[in-house]
Chain A
C-alpha cells in the first residue's frame, strides 16, 4: 500500500467478480421452460452484494434464485444489498456469440449516466452499480454459458491517487471509534443496511455521522472531514473496489469536486473492520465545459481467469433427472447396508448381469425386484407379444403396448424398464427357446440352431439366468447351458395356487474344484428329480392347461423369492457352490442375508411355504455329466437329436432303465399336482 502513496499514481480499481448460485440457474431453467419459451427479450434481474468480510477473499456480485422477477418484492439485508441488472438470454449459442457486447455495455452505462444526471442515483444509489449479463442456457445438457459486465464510466483523464491507507491509520482513535459505531448503526438499521453508498462526516469533536447521498447539500459547512463511503466488495489493501468508479463519476459530475476522500467500507463478522477498510485521497480533473451531454466511455466485461472469455457452468449433477434417480436409488441401498446389513456388497449387485428367459408375469416381477436391489443390467428373452389380457397381470406392460398386433414383450419390457429407471442397462431379444420333444423340419433346422447358438452366447455373457418360461420343456436347454457354463440359474414356476422357486447347483464339470470335493455333492437342477425327459406338454391340452392360469398373487410372490434367492447366492461367500440350507439351519457360514435354501415351495391355498433340498442326480437329463459331456462333444447335432427324438435323453441318461426298475423316485409331492411343470413327473 505504501508505494501507492506517491502523488500522480493512477487510481486503479479492482474489478468486481460475479458468482451465480446454483439456485439461480435452477429457477431460470424453470422460468425458461415454463414461461418464457423462445421469448428472448431482456429480463430485469437483481444481483446482491455486500461489503468484503474476509481479509483474503473479495465479495462477489451474486445471483440467487430470488434474483429473477417474481411476485414477491425483493428484500435486501445486510449480506444482500440489491443491485439492478439486466439479463439477455439467447436461444442459441450462435446468437450468444453474435451479441454486440460493446453496444449492450454502452446502453447500460448510458442508463447509469442518465441516473447521475437526473439525480435518480442520489435517491437510489444502487443504480450506480447496475450490471448486465448475457447468457445461453443449454437446457438439454444442463450447462450455461454466461458473461457479466459491470459497466464503469471512464474518467478522462483518470483520477490520480494521492494516498491510500487502512482506515485505522487514517482516523484518530476517537474518530475510528465513532466511525465504527456510526457504520455499525447504519448496517444494523433495516432502513439503511442495504444502502451501499453514503456520506461520512466527522465534526471537529471527532463525532462521525453517516448520511444519505441526497443529503450532500444540506450537510455542507459544519464538518471538518467529509468522506465518500461505499460498501467495498474488494479485500485488497492496495486498491479500492469497482463501485468507486461510478461513484467518482457521480461526485465529479454532480458536485464538481477536485479532491475526493473516499472510504472503502469493509467488515469482519458483521462489524466494521477499520484495519481492512481503506481511506484514500483521489484528485479528479474537472471537465472544462462541464459537459453533461457527452456520455463517458465505459468498460466492464468481466474477465474469466484473466482472459476475455465467457464463463460456463455445468449443473448436470444437480439437474439431470437420470443422475438424480441413480443417486437416490443408490442411497436407499446404502441405507440398507448401513442400517441392517453392514457386510452387504452393493458392487456385486450393481455389476451383475441378469438374463431373464420369459417376460411374462414372472419376468416382469423379477425385473422389478432386481431393480429394487440395484441390479442394473437386465436382458429379456421372449418371443411373444403383449396381448390384451397381459397388462393387468404383467406389471411392465400397459394397454398401449397391446395396440395393433401388440408389441413384442422383449421390446416393451425394455422400454418400460427405461421409463421406470433411466439408468438401467436393458436389452431385449425376440427369440423362441428351442424345446425337446417339439420336432422341427429340416427347413427350420438352421434357424433353430441359430437360436441355440444365440442362447448359448447369451448365457455365457451373463452372470445369472432366470428360468421364467411357461413350460417345463423350454427350461431344458437353458438348464443345460447354465450347467455347461457354470452360471447361476434361478428357476421359478407357478401352478394354479402353488409355486416353486429354486436355484440350480454348479455344473458337473466344476466337480474337480476343491470346493466341491469337500462336499462331494452338487445341488440339483429343475430336472434332477424327474424320471422323464422333458417333452411336449402343450399339444393335447385344454386351454386352461396351456395358458398358465394361476392365482394373480402367485407371480409377485414367486418372482420376489427368485430375486431374493439370487441376491442370497451373490452375497454368499461360496456363491453358486453354497450348500442348501433349510429353515432350521443355523446361519454360521456367513451369508449376511440369512439362510440360503435350495428350493422354496409354497401354496397359497394353505398360505404355507417350505424349503427343500435335493442333490443333483447322475441321471439328470439336463445337468448330469453324461448330458453335459455329450453336448460339449457333439454340440448342435446333439441338441437336434434331443429336439426331434423324445426318448433320446432318457436312453442317454439311463432313465429308461431306471423307470423300468422302480418308481421310488417319487417325492412326497403327490398332492401338489397343481405345479404345472411337475405334472408330468407326478402323473407317472
Chain B
C-alpha cells in the first residue's frame, strides 16, 4: 500500500491534534524496544564518558524514572563533539541484560550459593588474613583493570601496597598498554602523549601503525576523515599486517610482515638522514642518542627477568647502526617495497607537512613493543615533528581508564600513584599521604601480570581478587592459567556484572555496579580526566568496586586509612589522590571542576589545560627561555634509541605454517561480556570467526562459513571460516576476533612478552589449519 500523509491521516482516526505515535496503529507496538510503563515520556540528560574504549567520548545519558533509556553524544565534549559509535549509542543497554549478577555468591561443596553481601565480604577478609598468615603477604594479589574507575584503582593500591604491604597489584592494562608506558619512559622519561586529539585538525599526513582505527577508534577515525574532506590535501597511510576497513578508507595501504615494523621504522630513519631531512636545530638542542641490550628474549619461561642497560652513543654510531636498514635491505625482511619505504620517509621528512602517527595494540602487543615505540618516536624526533599542533606521535588506549587508573594511579606492581616503589622519595610521599609507616611499602616489585598468573599456577600466590576484567578469556596460553586458577587451595574472588568464564572459576562472586550506577572518573588517551555521577541506581545488592575494597579494608583493620562515608567517598578519594600529582607536570583539576566539565586535561595549571606538553608556548612546566623542554629525562632531552629488528617469539615453520593474529571488531568491546548483551551489537556480530586469505582457503578446500580447526603447540579451537569478510589477512596469516567466549582463541595464543614492558604479544604466534 502506498501511503501519503493525507490518506494516512484519514485512515488513522485523528480526532485530536495530539496523536501519540504509539496509538496511531492500535494493537501494534513498536518492535524496537519495550516501552517503559508509567513514564512521563520525558528524559533528563546527564554527562558521562563512554564506558568502552580509551577514546573517551562524552555521552549524555538520558534518564527516565530510575532507568537509563537513551544516549546522545555530548556536544560539549571536545573529544567527539556530539558523535558516538554504535557501541556508545547503545551503551546504556549494557546495564539491562537479564542475567545481571545482583547477589553475592560463594562456593559451597562445589556449588555457587547466594549469600548476603556482608557474609561474602567477611569471608573475603577472613580468607585474606588466613592466607597471609600461612603463606606471607605476597601470597595475596589484586588483579584489576583499565576499566576500574580512578577511585577503584586508588583504594586497591592503597590497601595492597600501603596497608598490607605487598606489591601484588596488577591490572589488565599490562596486556594492553604496558609497552606504551615503557616506550614513553625510555624515550621521554614521563608517561602519556605529549599531544592531543586537536592535532587531528592540524595534521596533513596520518600514518596508522598496525592500527585498524575505523573499527577500534571510529570516532577519531571519523574526525580524521572529516579533516581530509575539509582540507583536501590530507593523506592517510594504513601501515598494517592485514587489510581492513581502515585500509579501504586510507589513501594508501602498505602491508608488512609481522614484527618487521621495527626494520621499516629504522629504514625510514635511514632515509631521513640520507636525504638530510633531519631537523638539525631540534636534534642538537633536544635529543641524545642511546642503545640498549639486544637479543633480549621472549619471557616464555617462568621467573624470566630482564633489565635493560642503556648506553650513550653518538649520532655517528647511530648512523652506522642504521646502515643495516637501507630500504633495499629492509624490503627483503619486511615485504614492503623500497619505494613504499622511501615514500613513507618522504612524508615524514617533508618540512612542509605536519605528521601524526597513530597506534594501539599492533605496536603494544608486540614482543618488541617498547622498541617499536622508541623507533616511531625516533622518526618524529629526527624531523622535530613533535609537541606542536599537528605533529604528534600518538599512542591510543583501548580501555576507558587505562591511562587514568592504571598509568596515572600506578596500579602495576612497580608503580605508586607518584613514581615507583623502588624509589625512596616516592615511597615516603605515598606513606605520608596514605598515613601508613613507610616501612609498609615494599621497595621490591613482585609479579607482572603473566608472572602473577604463573605464580598462581605454581602456588606462590594463593588468593587473587579480580575486578572489572575477564582474564579467563584474555590471558594468552589460557589453558595453563585456567588450570592454575582451578587448583586446590587457590581462592579466587571475582567482582563483576555478568557471568563470564572468569566468574566460572570464582570461589566468591561480588555483584558490582556498572558504569553510571556509581560515581567515578576515567582518564582517556589524551590526558583527559572525566567525571561521572551515579546516574541510575544499581540493581539488587550491587556495590561499587571501590566500596567493596573499602569494606574489606575495614574488616582487615584499616579503618583509619579508609574513613570516608558512602555519600562523599569519591570526592574525598579524588582530593587525597590529587595530592600525589601536585606539580606543573601533572596537576589535576579539582573535584568540583571535574563535576562541571565534560572532561579536563592534565597538566591543569593556573586554570588552564595543557594541550601540548614539552612545548614552552603551551606547557608551563617547561623551563622559560627555550622552545622545547623534555623535562621527563634528567638531561632535559628526548632520547633517540638504536633498536634493531628482532623476529617474533614464534614464527611459522614447516609444521605450524600460519601466523595467528587476534584482535577486535567494531561491534564488540573486549570479551563481549557487555556488548554481547546489547541486542543491536549481538545481532550484527553474533559469533567469532577465522579470517583466511582467499587463496589459502582455496588451497585448504574451505569455503566461506565452513569449519576450520586452528591448532598451535598450546591448544586448538574450531570455528567458521570468513573469506573476504570484515578483513582480509595476507597469505600465510589468519585473524580471529577474541570477543567470543565460545571460541577461546587465547587457548591457542602464546604467552611471550616484551622483556621491557612484560606485555604479551597477541598478534604473532604459529598455527596450522585443518578443514573439519
Do A and B pair up? The answer is no
